[in-house]
Each structure stands twice: as structure tokens, then as C-alpha cells.
Amino acid sequence: MSLKVYIGGKLYDKADAKISVYDHGLLYGDGVFEGIRAYSGRVFRLAQHVDRLYESAQSIHLKIPIAREEMARAVVDTMAVNKLTDAYIRVVVTRGGGSLGLDPRKTTDPQVIIITDAISLYPAELYEHGLKIITAGTMRNHPSALNPRIKSLNYLNNIMAKVEATNAGCLEALMLNHKGEVAECTGDNIFVVRKGALHTPPIDAGILEGITRDAVLELARAAGVPIFERTMDRHDVYTADECFLTGTAAEVIPVVECDGRAIGTGTPGPITTDLRRRFHALVREER
């Protein structure tokens, strides 16, 4: 059976799931999206993802044509139609078709697209041995230009940094903000462990408010690990005892090297491993 894709309330076979080439989502990256994950038939933190989607849309002055409850229902229903239990879910809302000019007022039909598919994971051995990352020369979008809190269809900033990472033989790149402070990676938030405490850049460093980041902060708090959301520079990463990234697709993944410097012992640390275990339990238990 071919996968069904939801577009504007209807289900299409994957091969027939198409939108107009005049859609401003394609022409200008004008739209917003979410990456969501389901475990054993339950969507993890769906309400939070839906809220973030609607906030991104509000921020770019895009009115999503359906209500939040209907969006949440459509996500669950699309997954069910495809008989998926462990899935990666991509929700996309485009500005819609219009003229070949920027003006969003000339667009008429915002498209709501829901793709539910198998989840593709980092190789298991990376979770055992950890990732190597580099710092990208491409800085993270300035919050006054395109705020990284908006999960927009315009991901070129992150893609440029990703190209730098892959050219350097790495899978992820650390991105700094316009002040040279640590922001986040191309598709993940970053944490370090120093002297038993967890440190991560604050939202005003110019980052996406990651839903996995939130969950890990809650888990750390419950485990009694001190937390500091504070401005960080690369020195903090180079000299950390442990480092890891968080994201819907990556979950919690250890980082063992940055710009050629081994972090801590150069192997995944105990707090990272413990939080990874707690996160796995959470996604399976949470209702």
C-alpha cells in the first residue's frame, strides 16, 4: 500500500501528493513546519508541536486555515491511515499559490500538508560512540532578521552550515550567533555538562525552543541535576566534561569531539547516558 499524504483535508497517494509551483512555500520558502515523532502509536508532545507551529505562523503573519484541534486530529488520523506506530511526522503550512511577487496578500490558498513516514535514524553506533562536530563559519540567523524561534520553510541558514559539516566529514555543525556565542546545531539544540551541572544556551541566544530541549530540562530537574541556561562560548564546549545534542529526530545524542578537541574523556559521559535513558523511558510512558 502506498503511503497517504494529507493535503488540505484530503488524502493522496504519495506519488500524487502535489502542490502548485506558484506556491510561495516553494518560490520563497514562505511557510512554516514541524517535525514530530510518534512512539508505539502515541505522538510525543503533539500539543506542544501544534502550539509551536501556530506561533511560527502567527509570527510570519500566516493564518493557518484550520483550528489547532483539527490539526492535531489530522496528524493522528494520517498516521493511523498509514498504519504507522513509530513514525516521523512532517507538518508543513505554505503561504499558498499566488503571483510571482513577494506580496503574501496575493496568495489565496495556504496549503496544510501532513506527511507521516518511517523514521530514519542516526546509525546506532553514533549513540554508543558519540558524534564529532565542527563549528560552522555560517552564523545563525540574526533574531532581528529571521528569528530562529520561527520554524520557517526557509532553512538555508542551517543548510549552509550543514554543507560545511559534511564537507568536513561531520554530520552536525555548531552554529554561533551574531555575537559569536554558542547558539545551536543545524537541526538540534546543544547542552554541555560541567562539574555535574547542565548548561545550555538561553532562547535569547537566537535558537529554536526545542521540544526535546524542554523535555530534557524537565528530566534533568527531576533527577536533581543543576541547570544553567546561560550564554556560552566555544571555550565552554571545548572544556566541557560532556556534550550532547537534542532534537526530535536525534533524541539525545552524545558529542565527543568539537573542532578536533576531544570533549571530556572523548566518550559519552554518564550524565548524557543517564538523560538518554530517561528520555527513552519518557517517550514510551508519557500520555
- CB closer to ligand PMP out of 97 and 198: 198
151 is catalytic: yes
Residue among 151, 162, 179, 195 flagged as catalytic: 151
Site size for ligand PMP (CB under 6 A): 14
> Quick check: 217 binds ligand PMP (CB under 6 A)?
no
CA distance 81 to 135: 42
Using DSSP's 3-state secondary structure scheme, residue 17 falls into: coil
Question: Pairing relation of β-strands 172-176 and 4-7?
Answer: unpaired
Taking CB under 6 A as the rule, which mask of x and - marks residues 162-191 in contact with ligand PMP?
----------------------x--xxx--
CB of 213 to ligand PMP, least distance (A): 6
Residues 6+ apart with CB under 8 A from 124: none
Strand segments (E) across 220-271: 227-229, 242-247, 251-258, 261-262
> Quick check: 206 binds ligand PMP (CB under 6 A)?
no
Q: Which amino acid is at 284?
A: R
The alpha helices in the chain, defined as continuous H runs, are: 24-28, 46-59, 68-81, 124-129, 156-167, 211-222, 234-238, 270-285
- CB closer to ligand PMP out of 82 and 246: 246
- CB closer to ligand PMP out of 164 and 188: 188
Q: Do 63 and 110 contact (CB within 8 A), yes or no?
A: yes
Taking CB under 6 A as the rule, which mask of x and - marks residues 25-64 in contact with ligand PMP?
----------x-----------------------------
Cell 505554505, located at residue: 94
Cell 543545524, located at residue: 186
Q: Do 96 and 37 contact (CB within 8 A), yes or no?
A: no
> Quick check: 157 binds ligand PMP (CB under 6 A)?
no
| Residue numbers 229-258 binding ligand PMP by CB under 6 A | 246-248
Give the residues across from 234 on adjacent strands: none
CB of 29 to ligand PMP, least distance (A): 14
- CB closer to ligand PMP out of 98 and 220: 220
Element (H, E) at 112: strand 112-117
Options 143, 210, 254, 269; binder of ligand PMP; rule CB under 6 A: 210
Options 71, 89, 211, 240; binder of ligand PMP; rule CB under 6 A: 211
Question: Pairing relation of β-strands 242-247 and 189-194?
Answer: antiparallel
CB of 99 to ligand PMP, least distance (A): 30
- CB closer to ligand PMP out of 4 and 276: 276
CB of 72 to ligand PMP, least distance (A): 16
Of 125-133, 204-212, 230-238, 256-264, which part binds ligand PMP (CB under 6 A)? 204-212
- CB closer to ligand PMP out of 66 and 249: 249
Please tell me the total number of residues recorded for the chain in this structure: 287
Q: Which amino acid is at 265?
A: T
Q: Do 190 and 72 contact (CB within 8 A), yes or no?
A: no
Report the interface residues with ligand PMP, using CB under 6 A.
Answer: 35, 158, 184, 187-189, 208, 210-213, 246-248
Q: Provide the annotated active-site residues.
A: 151
